[in-house]
Amino acid sequence: MSERSCDVLVIGSGVAGLTSALAAAETGARVLLATKLGLASSNTAKAQGGIQAALGEDDAPWVHAADVIQSSHETADPKLVAALTAEAPDAIARLERFGVRFTHDGDGHYRLARCGGATRKRLLQVGDRTGHAIATSLREAVGADDRIEALDHAPLQALEPSPSGWRATLGRHDGSSLEVAAGALVLAAGGRCYAEAKRLGTFSTNAAGATGEVTDIALAAGCEARDLDALQYHPNGGLWPVTMQGYSIPETTRAYGAVLLNAHGERFVDELGGRDVVSAAIVRECEEGRGLTTPEGRPSVLLDCRPIPVADAEISLPFMLKRYRAAGIDPLAEPIHTYPVLHYQNGGLVIDEHGATTLAGLYAAGEISGGVHGRNRMMGNSLLDGSVFGWRAGHAAADAAQ
């Protein structure tokens, strides 16, 4: 077993992990970023809809916060929500400094959309590949920072406290192990929805690395957690053609005018309601006999994107249109089959406003943490969560290590 040391060890290469590494390095810390699969493998890169921030003239962080609390059914931690929404504008500016180019209108203002559960237009996008754009820019920034060393195919296998911080055991390609002594750790390894979908025999929007073992390791080390049973379904999973199964149809389709229809051609829910409300309504229509079935025989309802103006679709939904058209269906010409698909782990490790878990020197950010969204997350807040708390956790971990 070989050994290494660093000031801060970051586990995970999504928005939360990459941001944590950059924040820690900014303080002068020596950072080792380790990820289970390749550095480009994360749920961040699959996030399409966008990222929320109160930047509109009629909006404010406190309005954003109220929407988060309402969508969570009063289960989110108010202190975490306040931090999330207050820092959102700064997080957007920071992402832009790292190279993210959000979509603007012709007059130079951000192109903002109203998303499910929101009372204002505050969703920023990079077309319908926002997560991919964010992950790409952050990876480039990490690669250009000589204070950060990235280690791929190095899954976390064990974790234990030490007199000088923490000792972590990482797996390696050849079956050997790497022992890392770190002053502090940031866990940003995401959730477990891919593994949970396999267990349930259903579809998931998640990358294959979302299997949850890092949460289990943290719990075994003594971390407290909350709401681990609160898994979220994306209302609009793709179903047909078969190649679209498990694809998360961007919820911005509904923001720009798409409607949900049952077998009778009737709308049955407020399309801009919370994710849990819309998902439950779709399931109810099918269970009560008002749904449809795909040619493969799966229950579904229809997402009718024909009301979306072509100009809006070309700007905000190009990837989704390309995928469906390549499969032989034009969503702007005919409705598409949809049904909720397993998407996000709302609960996780208990953290404070700086990402600190209940164990000294151990921090968490992103989907692995709990409390930020309560038991039901608004769309557009996961990328924001990783950006805000990744930055906070990275700084706090570097301070603790030094």
pLDDT of res. 402? 87
Spatial distance between the Cα atoms of 103 and 92, rounded to a whole number of angstroms: 12
**Token code pair at residue 342:** 């397993």
Strand partners, 169: 158, 179
E strands along 130-268, which residues?
A: 148-151, 156-162, 165-171, 177-187, 225-226, 231-238, 259-261
pLDDT of res. 14? 97
Dihedral angle computed from the Cα positions of residues 18, 164, 401 and 222, in that order, rounded to the nearest 10 degrees: 60
Spatial distance between the Cα atoms of 103 and 111, rounded to a whole number of angstroms: 6
Residue in the block written with tokens 């309560």: 374
pLDDT of res. 238? 95
Spatial distance between the Cα atoms of 139 and 19, rounded to a whole number of angstroms: 9
The pLDDT tens digits of the residues spanning 84-113 come to: 999 999 999 999 999 999 999 888 899 999
- Tell me the Ramachandran region of residue 313: left when phi exceeds 0, alpha when psi lies from -120 to 50, beta otherwise: alpha
pLDDT of res. 48? 87
Contact yes or no for 185/9 (Cβ under 8 A): yes
Spatial distance between the Cα atoms of 10 and 21, rounded to a whole number of angstroms: 6
pLDDT of res. 173? 85
Active site residue 392: no
Spatial distance between the Cα atoms of 71 and 75, rounded to a whole number of angstroms: 9
Report the SS3 class of residue 17: helix
For the chain, list residues with pLDDT below 50: none
Task: From the candidates 226, 275, 375, 392, give the one annotated as an active-site residue.
Answer: 275
pLDDT of res. 2? 83
Q: How many Cβ atoms are within 10 Å of 121's Cβ, its own excluded?
A: 17
pLDDT of res. 1? 61
Spatial distance between the Cα atoms of 139 and 38, rounded to a whole number of angstroms: 12
Closest by CA to 352, choosing from 375, 368, 369, is 369
CA torsion sign for 278, 284, 286, 290 is negative
